Amino acid sequence: MSTSIRSIKSLVPLLDRVLVQRIKAEAKTASGIFLPESTVKDLNEAKVLAVGPGGLDREGKRVPMGVQAGDRVLIPTFGGSPVKVGEDEYQLFRDSDILAKINE
């Protein structure tokens, strides 16, 4: 999903959407040896950059979001909409797709 967006900060999620950036695995071992790119596995962790105002319930009220900007979260392996800003990749999920917060 290519865009001409200059800064990811311009992206304002709608409804119950959550904009996240996947956390990259360390490309070096605990002892400090750098690993070749291909051996670094994708992690299912992400940083929440922005959240929508919440979906609308049947009475037209906003459903409160479960996560907030700044949260570190566990995301599912599949699903989500990829967004590319320059060379960086981001993802948009629905709030209820986020599995867990990581308080670490």
Q: Which residues bind its own copies (CB under 8 A)?
A: 1-7, 10-15, 17, 19, 23, 25-26, 41-45, 52, 56-58, 60-61, 63-64, 66-67, 74, 76-77, 81, 83, 92, 96, 98-104
Residue with tokens 């865009």: 3
Q: Which is nearer to its own copies, 30 or 33 (CB)?
A: 30
Distance CA 51, CA 26 (A): 26
7 or 33: CB nearest its own copies = 7
Q: How far apart are alpha carbons 72 and 18 in whole angstroms?
A: 12
